[in-house]
């Protein structure tokens, strides 16, 4: 059992920033197409965070050309270059599935007041 935990610790990433559901994030993802490699940026609101050890994931939703696009990212994948927190949202739920049914201004997340 100790060998499994040690193997999981080796593959975990510790450079991820702290973010919560409702925050707007930019995920810089490494895409490999044939022999070429490029960075693709996916920016959207965090809908949910599934916590675990090496199988932790987070779901990001964005609106592209009027169509909602959701993508599930594993926390500990080597294909994520970095994650930037663009803004912090003010929500009272941990799962923001209700955003799927909202359109336009109703689907906006309030921004948290940051006092400096």
What tens digit of pLDDT does each residue of 16-71 get?
A: 889 999 999 999 999 999 999 999 999 999 999 998 878 899 999 999 988 899 99
What is the DSSP secondary structure assignment for residue 112, as one 8-state letter? P
d(CA 72, CA 61): 9
What does CATH list as the number for 2-90? Answer: 2.30.30.790
H or E element at residue 109? none
User: What pTM value is reported for the model?
Assistant: 0.84
What tens digit of pLDDT does each residue of 86-107 get?
A: 999 999 999 999 989 888 888 8
H or E element at residue 68? strand 67-74
Taking the domains of the chain in order of start, what are their residue ranges? 2-90
Q: What is the DSSP string of 12-54?
A: ----PPP--TT-EEEEEEEEEETTEEEEEEEEEEEEEEE--ST
d(CA 13, CA 115): 30
Q: What are the backbone angles phi and psi of residue 100, rounded to the nearest 5°?
A: -65, -30
């Amino acid at each position: 059992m100790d060998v499994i935990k040690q193997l999981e610790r080796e593959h975990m990433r510790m450079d991820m920033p702290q973010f919560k559901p409702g925050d707007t994030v930019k995920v810089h993802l490494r895409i490999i197409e044939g022999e070429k490699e490029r960075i693709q940026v996916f920016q959207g609101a965090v809908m949910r965070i599934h916590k675990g050890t090496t199988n932790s994931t987070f779901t990001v939703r964005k609106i592209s050309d009027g169509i909602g696009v959701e993508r599930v990212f594993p926390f500990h994948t080597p294909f994520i270059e970095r994650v930037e927190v663009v803004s912090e949202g003010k929500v009272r739920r941990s799962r923001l599935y209700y955003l799927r049914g909202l359109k336009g201004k109703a689907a906006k997340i309030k921004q948290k007041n940051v006092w400096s």
